[in-house]
Amino acid sequence: MTLSGSYPSSSIYTCLIDKKLDDEEYFSTCCEKAVQDLPKNHCNGHPSFCDLTYDKFTFPGAHNAGTGQHSSITDCALRNHDLNIREQLDFGLRFFDFDVIYSHNLANCDGLESGHGKVPDLGLYVCFGSVREIFRQVSEWMVEHPREVVTLYFGELQYETETYGYLQSEILNQFGMEDSLVKLNTRHKTQGGWPTLGEAIETNQRIFVFIRSELVPPNIPGIIQEVQVTISKPNLDGPSGSVKILSTFNSRSIDDNCHAVIDNNKEACPAQSELTKVAVFGTFLNSGLDCIWEIARKCNPRAMEAIQACLEFKTNVNFVQVDFPNYPALSSVQLIDYIHELNLAKLT
């Protein structure tokens, strides 16, 4: 197994394991380390990426990224990661999808938290970690890696009216102040269009934020309202400054070869949208009683095919979402490396 660290000084560890490990299982082995250095003027891993506009770049990403912050007895059904946000950044992910809630009454909840579940009024929801702590990890990591651009995406807000206010305040307090260490990108809502990665880096506006909520005000330039486009909702329009983002997710049964993610992308990607989010994951009970990490083992090997299925209809895929990205595919080429090559191909 080969593990690659983050740029620009990327550490590569080759570790002989020769067995599958799920969730909290562990195995001790010796790893060989090598370091590859990139030019200091790179953008998200390569100097030429600096000339790509944000909407032309493909970001490898995490579905329900916040569930990696903590563990609970519901992990089998609700936990999508066993890496926290900093570890996911180190792994190479640059797009983070969050479900969030403001609650002091639900399991593990203490204010504004990342979570996962449905119908919190019935207690069918679990919190996995403080949003403030997640933002602190993101900010700290990005200060250490000043040539990286990251996207934070908030797709599901439980108790939306109350939760949105707390979420907006937390975003602005961490990334929207004059003295913020890394700042929100304001280009889309102030000027239209998208900056290049190089422009985002040079202005230190390296955080792009999307929230799927009609509560997003038009006068806050660093927070963009998402209008979700799906197979069942292909033609929605939103207010000025909002962005139509296609999600290829569709809940259906997951077989041993995860054919569903390929079918979903073939069906969804003809829809018109400004940005495209490819979903390479299933949900609990879509594959019998398989735990989410077991579903990830089925679906992660199909990630490259899912991307190509979408590219039959789209000129670009912007975000690729997976669960347990550290549960690698059978191919010798892993998702992070594949997306890096995909971005390189855009330069020719």
- Total number of domains in the chain: 1
Range of the domain at 293: 2-345
User: What pLDDT does residue 336 have?
Assistant: 92
DSSP 286: S
Nearest by Cα to 306 from 255, 259, 244, 239: 259
Q: Are 162 and 102 in contact (CB under 8 A)?
A: yes
User: What pLDDT does residue 6 have?
Assistant: 47
The CATH code of the domain that includes 61 is 3.20.20.190
Q: How far apart are CA 62 and CA 47, in angstroms?
A: 25
Structure tokens at 219: 């006068």
Q: Are 139 and 122 in contact (CB under 8 A)?
A: no
Q: Is 48 exposed, middle or buried (0-12, 13-18, 19+ CB in 10 A)?
A: middle
Pairing between strand 150-158 and 95-103?
Answer: parallel
User: What pLDDT does residue 34 have?
Assistant: 66
Q: How far apart are CA 156 and CA 154, in angstroms?
A: 6
User: What pLDDT does residue 167 have?
Assistant: 98
For 152, 169, 247, 311, the CA distances from 58, given in Å and listed in that order, are 14, 29, 14, 12
pTM above 0.95, yes or no: no
In the chain, DSSP finds a helix count (H) and a strand count (E) of 10, 13
- State the DSSP H helix or E strand holding residue 208, giving kind and residue range, or none if neither: strand 207-211
Q: Are 37 and 9 in contact (CB under 8 A)?
A: yes
User: What pLDDT does residue 323 have?
Assistant: 95
Q: Are 165 and 60 in contact (CB under 8 A)?
A: no
Q: Are 205 and 187 in contact (CB under 8 A)?
A: yes
Q: How far apart are CA 69 and CA 96, in angstroms?
A: 13
Provide the 10 A C-beta neighbour count for residue 220.
Answer: 18
Q: Are 134 and 154 in contact (CB under 8 A)?
A: no
User: What pLDDT does residue 140 have?
Assistant: 97
Q: How far apart are CA 4 and CA 293, in angstroms?
A: 21
- State the DSSP H helix or E strand holding residue 94, giving kind and residue range, or none if neither: none
Instruction: List average pLDDT for each run of 10 residues in the chain, which is 348 residues long.
Output: 50 69 71 69 95 98 95 90 95 97 91 94 92 98 97 97 98 97 97 97 98 97 96 85 95 90 96 96 83 93 95 97 84 84 93
